[in-house]
Structure 1
Amino acid sequence: MKLGIHAYAWCSQWSNDTLNLINRAKDLGMDFIELPLMSLDTFDVKAVRQRLLDVGLECCTSTVLLEGMDLTSGDAEERQRAVSYLKQCVEVSSGIGAKQFSGVIYSQHVKLAIKRPSEKEWQMAADGLREVAKYAQTLGLPIALEPVNRYETYLINTSEQAMRLIDMIGMDNVGVHLDTYHMNIEEKRFSDAVKLADSKLMHIHLCENDRGIPGTGLVDWDDLFRTLGEINYQGYAALESFVDITDNMSTWVWRQLAPNGDTLITEGKAFIRSMQEKYRLV
């Protein structure tokens, strides 16, 4: 299993001013860094790729669909904007040499829904993502769907729902991206969610129930890592927390979750590495 860090543990927006975070992640012993694609207008593909090569660090990318870009919208133009944006994210990810692209990419993040999703909305999400996945396949890039809690999406809250949508998409390069913060709310057991995803599990966000330092809260880390050991998970796993409010997505950080990004990484890494060793995932 490869252990990394999401850049939002340090910053609230990515730009060339934050390129040094790639160096910092490497210096702190991370195997990769996860880069947000929320603001493509400030994302310098050439600069990021060069810094990753110079430092010798792998990366993954992620995003969420914001207002005006919704694959489950009844407006065909809005659905096409979402597809176009996701294809651009795929192109950027490929351009920097990312190993995968994932996130809340199936419907608008924090959509003001007033009823459960219809079969038509499920099908629209599948159709849009199939087009994105086909494009990603031409670039050799895997993509993954991240289930998030009921307050952030009405479509994919669980591993089971993610697997259903993957079956509807019908592309081999689409997998699951689990997140322990959201699993703690929506899943019955961490182990069941992991077993269900099995070989389709591509990425995990390792978060405490309050998004603070892993090992300091209520997440059942033994249940999670025992099962990851059973399936011999060799994919990517990123520490994810947010240090501040951003103006490009909702993070709801109303208090300090860790003294700083470095403390989150140092203490979180020590805890996660101990769990890896305990369940033979080194």
Structure 2
Amino acid sequence: MKLGIHAFAWCSKWTNETLHLIDRAKKLEMDFIEIPLLDLDTFDSSAIKNRLMQVGLEACTSTVLSADTDFTSDDPAIRQNGIEYLKACIRATSEIGATNFTGVIYSQHVKNATARPTEKEWKQAADCLREVAKYAQEYGILVGIEPVNRYETYLVNTAEQAMKLKEMVGEPNIKIHLDTYHMNIEEKSFYEATKLVGDDLIHYHLCENDRGIPGTGVVNWDDIFRALGEMNYQGYAALESFVDISDSMNTWVWRKLAPDGDTLVREAITFIRGMQTKYGL
């Protein structure tokens, strides 16, 4: 298993001013850094690739859809805008030498939904993702669907639903990205959900139930790592805990969850590395 960290552990927006986080992740003996693509205008692929190569670190990318790029919108122009946005994300991912791109890439993140999703909305999401997946194949990019909790999407909340959407898309490079924070709300079993995804798992967010330091809350880490060990999981797994205060506060961290970012990361690494050793990862 490759252990990494989401850049949001230290920053609220990725720019060339945050390139030093690549060095920081390397010094912490991380295998990779997860870089958000929420603002492609500040994403300097050449600078990122050069820095990654200089320090010898891998990277993956992720994003979410907005109201202007929502695949479940009734407006075909918005859906097409979403397709073009994710295609741009695919190009950006390829340009930095990464091969994994994941996230909430099927519907608007934090959509103000007033009813359960319709089959039409499921089909729209699948049709749009199919076009993106075929485009990603040209670049050798795997595309991961991330289920998130009911307060952040009305479409894909569970591993089972993610697998449903994957089957509807029907492209071989569509994979799954699980997140323990969301699973703690939506799944009946961390173990069963992880095993259900199986070989389609390409990314795992390792978060405590409050997004604080892993191992200090109620997430069943033994069930998670027992499943990953049985699967001999060799993919990406990123720490995604939040401490820093940002201008937008779209991480919804309203209180201090650790003394500081460095303490959170240091203690999280110690805990997760211990779980890896325990379960042969």
AA matched with 1:225? F
Q: Which residue is 2:10 aligned to?
A: 10
Secondary structure of residue in 1 paired with 2:178 = strand
Secondary structure of residue in 2 paired with 1:144 = strand
Measured against aligned partners, the alpha-carbon deviations of 1:142-175 in whole angstroms (never above 9, x if no partner) come to 0100000000000000000000000000011111
Secondary structure of residue in 2 paired with 1:255 = coil
Matches within 5 A, 1:228-239: 228-239=228-239
Distance 1:248 1:81 in 2: 23
The structural deviation recorded for 1:16 is 0.3
Q: Does residue 150 of structure 2 align to residue 150 of structure 1?
A: yes
The structural deviation recorded for 1:249 is 7.5
In structure 2, the CA distance between the partners of 1:104 and 1:249, relative to structure 1 (3 Å rule), is: farther
Measured against aligned partners, the alpha-carbon deviations of 1:29-66 in whole angstroms (never above 9, x if no partner) come to 10000000011111101000100000100001000111
Secondary structure of residue in 2 paired with 1:176 = strand
The structural deviation recorded for 1:127 is 0.4
AA matched with 1:117? P
AA matched with 1:54? Q
CA contact (8 A) 1:12 1:243 kept: no
Tell me how large the CA RMSD over aligned residues is.
Answer: 1.0
The structural deviation recorded for 1:76 is 0.2
Q: Which residue is 1:180 aligned to?
A: 180
Secondary structure of residue in 2 paired with 1:218 = coil
The structural deviation recorded for 1:99 is 2.7
The structural deviation recorded for 1:257 is 1.6
Q: How many residues align?
A: 281
The structural deviation recorded for 1:243 is 2.6
Q: Does residue 220 of structure 2 align to residue 197 of structure 1?
A: no
Distance 2:213 2:232 in 1: 24
Q: Which residue is 1:77 aligned to?
A: 77
Distance 1:95 1:76 in 2: 29
AA matched with 1:198? G
Q: Which residue is 1:118 aligned to?
A: 118
Q: Which residue is 1:29 aligned to?
A: 29
Distance 1:246 1:166 in 2: 34
**Under a length normalisation based on structure 2, what TM-score does the superposition of the two structures give?**
0.98
Gaps of 5+ in 1: none
Q: Which residue is 2:164 aligned to?
A: 164
Q: Does residue 264 of structure 2 align to residue 269 of structure 1?
A: no
Distance 2:130 2:248 in 1: 26
Which stretch shifts more, 272-281 or 260-269? Answer: 260-269
Secondary structure of residue in 2 paired with 1:132 = helix
Q: Which residue is 1:44 aligned to?
A: 44
Gaps of 5+ in 2: none
Q: Does residue 218 of structure 2 align to residue 224 of structure 1?
A: no
Q: Which residue is 2:253 aligned to?
A: 253
Measured against aligned partners, the alpha-carbon deviations of 1:245-282 in whole angstroms (never above 9, x if no partner) come to 5456721111112222221211101100000010001x
Q: Which residue is 2:210 aligned to?
A: 210
CA contact (8 A) 2:99 2:140 kept: no
Secondary structure of residue in 2 paired with 1:168 = helix
In structure 2, the CA distance between the partners of 1:249 and 1:39, relative to structure 1 (3 Å rule), is: farther
In structure 2, the CA distance between the partners of 1:240 and 1:113, relative to structure 1 (3 Å rule), is: same
AA matched with 1:220? N
Secondary structure of residue in 1 paired with 2:60 = strand
Distance 2:207 2:263 in 1: 14
AA matched with 1:18? T
Distance 1:267 1:21 in 2: 18
Distance 2:237 2:247 in 1: 26
CA contact (8 A) 1:58 1:99 kept: no
Distance 2:52 2:200 in 1: 27
Secondary structure of residue in 1 paired with 2:116 = coil
